[in-house]
Protein backbone atom coordinates (compact mmCIF):
# COMPACT_ATOMS: atom_id res chain seq x y z
CA UNK A 1 0.00 0.00 0.00
CA UNK A 2 2.82 2.33 1.03
CA UNK A 3 4.76 1.43 -2.13
CA UNK A 4 1.85 2.32 -4.40
CA UNK A 5 1.41 5.71 -2.69
CA UNK A 6 5.17 6.32 -3.20
CA UNK A 7 4.74 5.40 -6.89
CA UNK A 8 1.83 7.82 -7.16
CA UNK A 9 3.91 10.58 -5.56
CA UNK A 10 6.75 9.94 -8.01
CA UNK A 11 4.38 9.97 -10.94
CA UNK A 12 2.80 13.28 -9.83
CA UNK A 13 6.26 14.78 -9.32
CA UNK A 14 7.40 13.67 -12.79
CA UNK A 15 4.16 14.95 -14.37
CA UNK A 16 4.59 18.38 -12.73
CA UNK A 17 8.21 18.67 -13.89
CA UNK A 18 7.26 17.45 -17.38
CA UNK A 19 4.38 19.93 -17.68
CA UNK A 20 6.01 23.01 -16.13
CA UNK A 21 9.46 22.69 -17.70
CA UNK A 22 10.32 25.78 -19.80
CA UNK A 23 11.96 23.40 -22.29
CA UNK A 24 9.82 21.59 -24.85
CA UNK A 25 9.16 18.07 -23.53
CA UNK A 26 7.54 15.20 -25.32
CA UNK A 27 7.29 11.44 -25.23
CA UNK A 28 7.55 9.54 -28.48
CA UNK A 29 7.33 5.91 -29.48
CA UNK A 30 9.74 4.04 -31.74
CA UNK A 31 7.83 5.22 -34.86
CA UNK A 32 8.33 8.84 -33.73
CA UNK A 33 4.62 9.35 -32.90
CA UNK A 34 4.11 12.07 -30.30
CA UNK A 35 2.29 10.49 -27.34
CA UNK A 36 2.58 13.36 -24.87
CA UNK A 37 3.77 16.98 -25.06
CA UNK A 38 4.04 19.83 -22.56
CA UNK A 39 2.83 23.38 -23.18
CA UNK A 40 6.39 24.66 -23.83
CA UNK A 41 6.61 22.13 -26.68
CA UNK A 42 3.27 23.32 -28.07
CA UNK A 43 4.40 26.98 -27.93
CA UNK A 44 7.80 26.11 -29.45
CA UNK A 45 6.00 24.77 -32.52
CA UNK A 46 3.74 27.85 -32.62
CA UNK A 47 0.47 26.12 -31.60
CA UNK A 48 -1.98 26.85 -28.77
CA UNK A 49 -3.35 23.51 -27.72
CA UNK A 50 -1.72 20.16 -26.99
CA UNK A 51 -4.35 18.32 -29.03
CA UNK A 52 -2.88 19.93 -32.15
CA UNK A 53 0.41 18.15 -31.51
CA UNK A 54 -0.37 14.93 -29.65
CA UNK A 55 -1.11 12.08 -32.06
CA UNK A 56 0.98 13.57 -34.87
CA UNK A 57 4.47 12.46 -35.85
CA UNK A 58 7.51 14.62 -35.16
CA UNK A 59 8.41 14.24 -38.86
CA UNK A 60 5.23 16.27 -39.67
CA UNK A 61 7.10 19.28 -38.23
CA UNK A 62 10.44 18.46 -39.81
CA UNK A 63 11.57 19.79 -43.22
CA UNK A 64 12.36 16.81 -45.51
CA UNK A 65 16.08 17.63 -45.65
CA UNK A 66 16.25 17.16 -41.85
CA UNK A 67 14.38 13.82 -41.70
CA UNK A 68 17.75 12.05 -41.67
CA UNK A 69 18.50 13.59 -38.24
CA UNK A 70 15.54 11.77 -36.73
CA UNK A 71 16.55 8.59 -38.52
CA UNK A 72 20.00 8.88 -36.89
CA UNK A 73 18.32 9.42 -33.51
CA UNK A 74 16.01 6.45 -34.09
CA UNK A 75 18.92 4.22 -35.14
CA UNK A 76 21.06 5.23 -32.16
CA UNK A 77 18.33 4.90 -29.58
CA UNK A 78 16.11 2.10 -30.71
CA UNK A 79 19.01 -0.14 -31.65
CA UNK A 80 19.95 0.31 -27.95
CA UNK A 81 23.43 1.51 -28.93
CA UNK A 82 23.09 4.19 -26.27
CA UNK A 83 20.46 5.10 -23.68
CA UNK A 84 20.50 8.80 -24.62
CA UNK A 85 21.35 10.76 -27.73
CA UNK A 86 21.59 14.43 -28.62
CA UNK A 87 21.80 16.29 -31.92
CA UNK A 88 20.99 19.62 -33.56
CA UNK A 89 18.27 19.80 -36.20
CA UNK A 90 15.45 22.05 -37.44
CA UNK A 91 11.66 22.14 -37.09
CA UNK A 92 8.96 24.13 -38.92
CA UNK A 93 6.58 26.17 -36.76
CA UNK A 94 2.85 26.54 -37.40
CA UNK A 95 3.46 29.86 -39.25
CA UNK A 96 5.99 28.20 -41.58
CA UNK A 97 9.09 29.72 -39.95
CA UNK A 98 12.10 27.49 -39.34
CA UNK A 99 13.65 27.06 -35.91
CA UNK A 100 16.95 25.42 -35.10
CA UNK A 101 16.78 23.14 -32.09
CA UNK A 102 18.82 20.88 -29.88
CA UNK A 103 17.08 17.55 -29.43
CA UNK A 104 17.98 15.21 -26.58
CA UNK A 105 16.27 11.86 -26.26
CA UNK A 106 16.44 9.39 -23.40
CA UNK A 107 15.08 5.85 -23.78
CA UNK A 108 12.91 4.19 -21.17
CA UNK A 109 10.92 0.97 -20.97
CA UNK A 110 7.33 0.64 -19.78
CA UNK A 111 5.26 -2.56 -19.86
CA UNK A 112 7.77 -4.13 -22.26
CA UNK A 113 7.57 -1.23 -24.73
CA UNK A 114 10.31 1.31 -25.44
CA UNK A 115 9.67 5.05 -25.44
CA UNK A 116 11.78 8.18 -25.91
CA UNK A 117 11.59 11.09 -23.47
CA UNK A 118 12.69 13.99 -25.66
CA UNK A 119 13.56 17.59 -24.80
CA UNK A 120 13.69 20.20 -27.54
CA UNK A 121 15.45 23.53 -27.00
CA UNK A 122 15.21 26.44 -29.41
CA UNK A 123 18.81 27.31 -30.34
CA UNK A 124 17.99 29.51 -33.35
CA UNK A 125 19.76 32.54 -31.85
CA UNK A 126 22.97 30.59 -31.17
CA UNK A 127 22.73 29.11 -34.69
CA UNK A 128 22.52 32.58 -36.29
CA UNK A 129 25.44 33.84 -34.18
CA UNK A 130 27.47 30.79 -35.20
CA UNK A 131 26.64 31.40 -38.85
CA UNK A 132 27.75 35.04 -38.56
CA UNK A 133 31.00 33.97 -36.88
CA UNK A 134 31.64 31.35 -39.62
CA UNK A 135 30.89 33.93 -42.32
CA UNK A 136 33.34 36.37 -40.73
CA UNK A 137 36.05 33.70 -40.44
CA UNK A 138 35.49 32.68 -44.06
CA UNK A 139 35.75 36.25 -45.41
CA UNK A 140 38.68 37.18 -43.15
CA UNK A 141 40.72 34.09 -44.03
CA UNK A 142 40.11 34.60 -47.77
CA UNK A 143 41.21 38.23 -47.46
CA UNK A 144 44.32 37.30 -45.44
CA UNK A 145 45.45 34.48 -47.72
CA UNK A 146 46.71 36.58 -50.68
CA UNK A 147 48.75 39.22 -48.79
CA UNK A 148 50.32 36.59 -46.51
CA UNK A 149 51.29 34.43 -49.50
CA UNK A 150 52.81 37.52 -51.21
CA UNK A 151 54.70 38.39 -48.03
CA UNK A 152 56.13 34.87 -47.72
CA UNK A 153 57.13 34.69 -51.40
CA UNK A 154 58.76 38.14 -51.27
CA UNK A 155 60.87 37.28 -48.22
CA UNK A 156 61.93 34.01 -49.85
CA UNK A 157 62.89 35.96 -53.01
CA UNK A 158 64.92 38.36 -50.87
CA UNK A 159 66.72 35.38 -49.33
CA UNK A 160 67.55 34.08 -52.79
CA UNK A 161 68.90 37.48 -53.88
CA UNK A 162 71.76 37.08 -51.45
CA UNK A 163 74.65 35.93 -53.63
CA UNK A 164 76.44 32.74 -52.52
CA UNK A 165 79.53 33.67 -50.54
CA UNK A 166 78.33 37.27 -49.94
CA UNK A 167 79.25 38.63 -46.53
CA UNK A 168 76.02 39.41 -44.79
CA UNK A 169 75.31 40.32 -41.20
CA UNK A 170 74.23 37.18 -39.25
CA UNK A 171 71.48 39.23 -37.64
CA UNK A 172 69.88 39.97 -41.03
CA UNK A 173 69.98 36.28 -42.01
CA UNK A 174 68.33 35.34 -38.70
CA UNK A 175 65.66 38.01 -39.03
CA UNK A 176 64.86 36.92 -42.58
CA UNK A 177 64.58 33.25 -41.55
CA UNK A 178 62.35 34.30 -38.64
CA UNK A 179 60.12 36.21 -41.06
CA UNK A 180 59.85 33.17 -43.41
CA UNK A 181 58.97 30.90 -40.46
CA UNK A 182 56.38 33.37 -39.15
CA UNK A 183 54.78 33.74 -42.57
CA UNK A 184 54.79 29.93 -42.89
CA UNK A 185 52.95 29.53 -39.57
CA UNK A 186 50.44 32.21 -40.59
CA UNK A 187 49.82 30.40 -43.89
CA UNK A 188 49.17 27.15 -42.02
CA UNK A 189 46.66 28.84 -39.67
CA UNK A 190 44.86 30.49 -42.60
CA UNK A 191 44.80 27.18 -44.50
CA UNK A 192 43.19 25.49 -41.47
CA UNK A 193 40.52 28.21 -41.33
CA UNK A 194 39.87 27.90 -45.06
CA UNK A 195 39.69 24.08 -44.89
CA UNK A 196 37.20 24.34 -42.01
CA UNK A 197 34.97 26.72 -43.95
CA UNK A 198 35.08 24.47 -47.02
CA UNK A 199 34.26 21.39 -44.96
CA UNK A 200 31.36 23.18 -43.26
CA UNK A 201 29.95 24.23 -46.64
CA UNK A 202 30.39 20.73 -48.08
CA UNK A 203 32.81 22.11 -50.66
CA UNK A 204 35.39 19.37 -50.19
CA UNK A 205 35.44 16.67 -52.83
CA UNK A 206 37.58 13.56 -52.61
CA UNK A 207 39.84 12.50 -55.42
CA UNK A 208 40.19 8.82 -54.53
CA UNK A 209 42.63 6.27 -55.87
CA UNK A 210 45.06 3.55 -54.75
CA UNK A 211 48.44 4.53 -53.32
CA UNK A 212 51.23 2.97 -51.26
CA UNK A 213 51.73 3.99 -47.66
CA UNK A 214 55.59 3.92 -47.77
CA UNK A 215 56.16 6.79 -50.25
CA UNK A 216 53.33 8.76 -48.63
CA UNK A 217 54.96 8.53 -45.20
CA UNK A 218 58.26 9.69 -46.66
CA UNK A 219 56.47 12.76 -48.03
CA UNK A 220 54.73 13.36 -44.70
CA UNK A 221 57.85 13.03 -42.68
CA UNK A 222 60.36 15.04 -44.71
CA UNK A 223 59.83 18.11 -42.56
CA UNK A 224 60.43 16.06 -39.39
CA UNK A 225 63.67 14.63 -40.75
CA UNK A 226 64.77 18.15 -41.74
CA UNK A 227 64.31 19.43 -38.19
CA UNK A 228 66.81 16.83 -37.03
CA UNK A 229 65.44 16.66 -33.45
CA UNK A 230 62.96 13.87 -34.01
CA UNK A 231 63.11 10.36 -35.31
CA UNK A 232 60.18 8.87 -37.11
CA UNK A 233 59.94 5.10 -36.96
CA UNK A 234 57.62 3.31 -39.33
CA UNK A 235 56.26 -0.08 -38.28
CA UNK A 236 54.43 -1.97 -40.97
CA UNK A 237 54.63 -3.01 -44.56
CA UNK A 238 55.61 0.05 -46.69
CA UNK A 239 54.01 -1.53 -49.75
CA UNK A 240 50.61 -1.64 -48.01
CA UNK A 241 48.11 0.04 -50.32
CA UNK A 242 45.43 2.50 -49.22
CA UNK A 243 42.35 3.62 -51.12
CA UNK A 244 41.47 7.28 -50.69
CA UNK A 245 42.40 10.85 -51.50
CA UNK A 246 46.18 10.71 -51.18
CA UNK A 247 46.58 14.46 -50.67
CA UNK A 248 43.99 14.58 -47.88
CA UNK A 249 45.28 11.45 -46.13
CA UNK A 250 48.73 13.05 -46.25
CA UNK A 251 47.18 16.16 -44.64
CA UNK A 252 45.80 13.97 -41.81
CA UNK A 253 49.11 12.16 -41.15
CA UNK A 254 51.11 15.42 -41.29
CA UNK A 255 48.68 16.94 -38.80
CA UNK A 256 49.02 14.02 -36.36
CA UNK A 257 52.83 14.00 -36.69
CA UNK A 258 52.97 17.79 -36.22
CA UNK A 259 50.80 17.49 -33.10
CA UNK A 260 53.13 14.84 -31.69
CA UNK A 261 56.04 17.29 -32.15
CA UNK A 262 54.03 20.21 -30.79
CA UNK A 263 52.45 18.58 -27.73
CA UNK A 264 55.10 15.99 -26.91
CA UNK A 265 58.31 17.99 -27.49
CA UNK A 266 60.38 15.79 -25.20
CA UNK A 267 59.34 12.63 -27.01
CA UNK A 268 62.04 12.38 -29.66
CA UNK A 269 60.70 9.26 -31.30
CA UNK A 270 57.39 9.24 -33.11
CA UNK A 271 56.03 5.89 -34.27
CA UNK A 272 53.77 5.44 -37.28
CA UNK A 273 52.16 2.03 -37.59
CA UNK A 274 50.05 0.67 -40.44
CA UNK A 275 48.10 -2.56 -40.15
CA UNK A 276 45.05 -4.30 -41.57
CA UNK A 277 42.27 -5.05 -39.06
CA UNK A 278 38.76 -6.37 -39.76
CA UNK A 279 38.79 -5.32 -43.41
CA UNK A 280 40.03 -1.82 -42.58
CA UNK A 281 43.50 -0.27 -42.75
CA UNK A 282 44.49 1.31 -39.47
CA UNK A 283 47.20 3.95 -39.17
CA UNK A 284 48.44 4.94 -35.70
CA UNK A 285 50.74 7.85 -34.81
CA UNK A 286 52.21 7.43 -31.32
CA UNK A 287 54.27 9.68 -29.07
CA UNK A 288 55.53 9.38 -25.50
CA UNK A 289 54.48 12.84 -24.36
CA UNK A 290 52.18 13.95 -21.56
CA UNK A 291 49.16 12.25 -23.10
CA UNK A 292 45.57 13.46 -22.77
CA UNK A 293 43.22 13.21 -19.79
CA UNK A 294 40.13 11.01 -20.31
CA UNK A 295 37.79 13.99 -19.78
CA UNK A 296 39.28 15.80 -22.83
CA UNK A 297 39.50 12.84 -25.20
CA UNK A 298 35.82 12.89 -26.06
CA UNK A 299 35.91 16.49 -27.35
CA UNK A 300 39.32 16.60 -29.04
CA UNK A 301 37.86 16.25 -32.54
CA UNK A 302 35.33 19.09 -32.08
CA UNK A 303 35.82 22.38 -33.87
CA UNK A 304 37.93 24.91 -31.84
CA UNK A 305 38.42 22.46 -28.95
CA UNK A 306 41.70 22.86 -27.07
CA UNK A 307 42.78 21.29 -23.80
CA UNK A 308 42.71 23.88 -21.02
CA UNK A 309 45.89 22.79 -19.26
CA UNK A 310 48.36 25.62 -18.55
CA UNK A 311 51.20 23.96 -20.48
CA UNK A 312 48.94 23.51 -23.54
CA UNK A 313 47.51 27.05 -23.42
CA UNK A 314 51.03 28.38 -23.97
CA UNK A 315 51.25 26.44 -27.25
CA UNK A 316 49.55 28.37 -30.04
CA UNK A 317 46.76 26.79 -32.09
CA UNK A 318 43.15 27.21 -33.14
CA UNK A 319 41.84 23.78 -32.19
CA UNK A 320 41.04 22.98 -35.82
CA UNK A 321 43.65 20.37 -36.82
CA UNK A 322 41.95 17.32 -35.33
CA UNK A 323 38.52 18.53 -36.42
CA UNK A 324 39.77 18.73 -40.04
CA UNK A 325 41.37 15.26 -39.72
CA UNK A 326 38.09 13.82 -38.37
CA UNK A 327 36.03 15.35 -41.18
CA UNK A 328 38.42 14.01 -43.85
CA UNK A 329 38.37 10.51 -42.34
CA UNK A 330 34.56 10.53 -41.91
CA UNK A 331 34.18 11.45 -45.58
CA UNK A 332 36.30 8.41 -46.42
CA UNK A 333 33.95 6.16 -44.44
CA UNK A 334 36.58 5.59 -41.74
CA UNK A 335 36.88 6.32 -38.04
CA UNK A 336 39.33 8.36 -35.99
CA UNK A 337 40.18 8.26 -32.31
CA UNK A 338 42.80 8.46 -29.60
CA UNK A 339 44.04 6.01 -26.98
CA UNK A 340 45.88 7.79 -24.22
CA UNK A 341 46.25 8.14 -20.50
CA UNK A 342 47.85 11.09 -18.73
CA UNK A 343 51.62 10.89 -18.59
CA UNK A 344 51.73 7.87 -20.90
CA UNK A 345 51.79 9.40 -24.39
CA UNK A 346 49.10 9.46 -27.05
CA UNK A 347 48.17 7.06 -29.86
CA UNK A 348 46.11 8.85 -32.48
CA UNK A 349 44.65 6.39 -34.98
CA UNK A 350 42.36 6.35 -37.99
CA UNK A 351 40.90 3.62 -40.14
CA UNK A 352 40.07 3.52 -43.85
CA UNK A 353 37.99 0.92 -45.70
CA UNK A 354 40.22 -1.49 -47.64
CA UNK A 355 37.95 -1.50 -50.68
CA UNK A 356 36.37 1.23 -52.81
CA UNK A 357 32.80 1.79 -51.54
P1 LIG B 1 45.51 22.83 -32.04
O2 LIG B 1 46.82 22.11 -32.13
O3 LIG B 1 45.40 23.98 -32.96
O4 LIG B 1 45.12 23.17 -30.65
P5 LIG B 1 44.21 20.30 -32.71
O6 LIG B 1 42.80 20.10 -33.14
O7 LIG B 1 45.27 19.77 -33.60
O8 LIG B 1 44.36 21.86 -32.53
O9 LIG B 1 44.38 19.66 -31.29
C10 LIG B 1 43.39 19.84 -30.29
C11 LIG B 1 43.97 19.63 -28.91
O12 LIG B 1 44.35 18.26 -28.76
C13 LIG B 1 45.26 20.40 -28.67
O14 LIG B 1 44.94 21.69 -28.19
C15 LIG B 1 45.98 19.55 -27.66
O16 LIG B 1 45.56 19.91 -26.37
C17 LIG B 1 45.48 18.14 -27.91
N18 LIG B 1 46.47 17.28 -28.60
C19 LIG B 1 46.54 17.02 -29.92
N20 LIG B 1 47.54 16.16 -30.19
C21 LIG B 1 48.12 15.85 -29.01
C22 LIG B 1 49.21 15.00 -28.61
N23 LIG B 1 49.91 14.29 -29.50
N24 LIG B 1 49.52 14.94 -27.28
C25 LIG B 1 48.80 15.65 -26.36
N26 LIG B 1 47.77 16.47 -26.68
C27 LIG B 1 47.43 16.57 -27.98
CA of 305 to the centre of ligand 1 (A): 8
Residue closest by Cα to atom 4 of ligand 1: 319
Best substitution site from 287, 317, 337 to test ligand 1's pocket, by max atoms within 8 Å of Cβ? 317
Query: Which residue among 296, 306, 313, 325 is best mutated to probe the pocket of ligand 1, counting the most ligand atoms within 8 A of its Cβ?
Result: 306
If asked whether residues 189 and 233 sit together in one domain, one would say: no
For residues 106 and 215, membership in a common domain is answered with no
Do 189 and 102 share a structural domain? no
pTM above 0.75, yes or no: yes
User: Which pLDDT score is estimated for 287?
Assistant: 95
Residues 176 and 78 in one domain: no
Cα separation of 250 and 41, whole Å? 47
Same-domain check for residues 133 and 163: yes
Query: What is the atom index within ligand 1 of the atom nearest the CA of 287?
Result: 23
Q: Which of 48, 22, 24 is nearest to 34 (CA)?
A: 24
Determine whether the shortest distance from the Cβ of 287 to ligand 1 is under 6 A: yes
**Mean pLDDT of successive 10-residue segments in the chain (357 residues)?**
72 87 90 93 96 94 94 81 87 96 91 89 95 92 93 90 82 89 90 90 89 88 73 87 94 93 88 90 94 92 87 80 96 96 93 86
Question: Residue 3's pLDDT is what?
Answer: 67
Same domain, 218 and 319: yes
Task: Say yes or no: 39 and 146 in one domain.
Answer: no
The pLDDT, as a whole number, for residue 331 is: 94
Ligand 1 and 306: CB distance under 6 A? yes
Residue 146 and residue 217 share a domain? no
Q: Tell me which residue has its CA closest to atom 3 in ligand 1.
A: 317
| Number of domains the chain is built from | 3
**Ligand 1 atom nearest 320 alpha carbon:** 6
Atom of ligand 1 nearest to the CA of 285: 23
Q: Among 175, 200, 225, which residue terminates a domain? A: 200
Q: What CATH number did the domain enclosing 15 receive?
A: 3.30.450.20
Residue with the nearest Cα to atom 23 of ligand 1? 260
Do 194 and 224 lie in one domain? The reply is no
Element (H, E) at 338: strand 336-340
Instruction: Give the Å distance between the CA of 301 and the centre of ligand 1.
Output: 9
State which of 104, 122, 140 marks the end of a domain: 122
* 252-to-246, 291, 304, 317 alpha-carbon distances in Å: 10, 19, 17, 16
- Say which CATH number the domain at 145 has: 1.10.287
Residues 216 and 192 placed together within one structural domain of the fold: no
The domain boundary, picked from 95, 122, 149, lies at 122
Is residue 194 in contact with ligand 1, taking CB distance under 6 Å? Answer: no
The SS3 assignment for 246 reads helix
324 CA from centroid of ligand 1 (Å):
12
Q: 191 and 104: one domain?
A: no
Which ligand 1 atom is at minimum distance from the Cα of 312? 16
192 lines ligand 1 (CB under 6 A): no
Which ligand 1 atom is nearest residue 260's CA? Answer: 23
The whole domain housing 133 covers 127-200
DSSP percent split of the chain into helix, strand, coil, nearest 5 = 45, 25, 30
The pLDDT of residue 167: 80
For residue 218, the domain's CATH number is 3.30.565.10
- DSSP E strands, 93-220: 98-110, 113-122, 209-212
- Nearest CA among 349, 301, 342, 347 for reference residue 321: 301
Indicate whether 98 and 156 sit together in one domain. Answer: no
- Check pocket membership of 307 for ligand 1, CB cut-off 6 A: yes
Amino acid sequence: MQDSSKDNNNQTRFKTIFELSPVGNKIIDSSLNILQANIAMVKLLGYDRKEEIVGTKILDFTPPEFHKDWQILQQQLWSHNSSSFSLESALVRHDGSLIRCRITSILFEEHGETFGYTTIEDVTEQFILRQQKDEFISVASHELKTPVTTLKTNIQLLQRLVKPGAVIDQKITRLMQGAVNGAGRLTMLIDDLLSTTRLEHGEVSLNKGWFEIGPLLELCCDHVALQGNYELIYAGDPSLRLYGDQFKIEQVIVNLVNNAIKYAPTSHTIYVKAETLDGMTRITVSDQGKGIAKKDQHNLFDRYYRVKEAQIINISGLGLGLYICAEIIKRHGGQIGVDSSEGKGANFWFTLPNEPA
